[in-house]
Amino acid sequence: MQFGIHSLVWVGDWSPKNRDFAMARTREQGWDHLEVVIFDPATLEADATRRAAERVGLPLVAGMTLNPDADLSSPDPEIARRGEQLVADAIVAARDLGSPILGGMTYSALHRYQRPAGREVFARAVEAYGRLAERAEAAGIRLGIEPVNRYESSFVNTLGQAVEIIEAVGSKSLFVQMDTYHMNIEETNVASAVAAAAPHLGYAHIGESNRGRLGAGNFDFPGFFRALKAAGYDGRLTLESFSPAIVGEEIAGVLALWRQPWEDVKENARHALAFLRQQAAAVH
């Protein structure tokens, strides 16, 4: 398995100084890759980021989320169109970063929705993902669908819902992205969900039930790693463990980070890498 770390573990923005800091810390600790989150493809400076990563020999992976004004799951056709365009632009940015994938919430914004998404949203999303899958294939990358909890999306909350979209589209350029933090909330049985989605799994975020130190919450990591082995998944796993002191007030508010989960970012990341390696070794 390849173990990576999310850029927001280290820094709250992607200025050249913070970019270089995050890359240096990631390489120093021995992580296999760094996930770069794409908030705005137009301001990412993907080429400069790729060159900086190449200088330190660090592979990059791209992630994203949509926003309320560009939301593929919106019942408003114009907002949904802008959401599709934002994903299309992020696909180009991911390619320019040198990432083999674009993961994350490629279908909706990360905020509290007040109504469930109707079947018309599903139908429109399938059409949009059909076009986006073609764009991803042309760019030489794969496009992910990351289910998140009910408080952050009303559209895709479980691995099974992501599978439903992918099988309706019928493209191998799409994959299901797991996230243990969200799975802990939404899946009836994590191992069964992983097994059912096995043919489509392509990436994973690793977060504790309280978004804090791995092993200090209630998520069953031994069971999860056994499920990965049974499913034949041996790909990328990326740590997500955020602190309001690092990500800043705006992102902390979106993620509902009301408490400080840990004090020392370097020690927390170092512990996480050792923890993940230990979990993987126990089942291989």
Q: Active-site residue among 35, 146, 187, 208? A: 146
Contact 241, 10 (CB under 8 A): no
The whole-angstrom separation of Cα 79 and Cα 74 is 6
CA–CA distances in Å: residue 245 to residues 6, 35, 215, 241 = 16, 20, 21, 12
The whole-angstrom separation of Cα 231 and Cα 260 is 35
Segment (H or E) for 38? strand 33-38
CA atoms within 13 A on the CB side of 143: 32
78 is catalytic: no
Q: How crowded is residue 228: how many other Cβ atoms within 10 Å of its Cβ?
A: 24
Segment (H or E) for 63? strand 60-66
240 is catalytic: yes
CA–CA distances in Å: residue 12 to residues 6, 15, 18 = 11, 9, 8
Name the E strands within 147-191.
174-179
Q: Active-site residue among 152, 186, 187, 240? A: 240
Burial letters 244-255, b for 16+ CB under 10 A, else e? beebeeebbeeb
DSSP at 60: E
The whole-angstrom separation of Cα 82 and Cα 79 is 5
Catalytic residue numbers? 146, 240
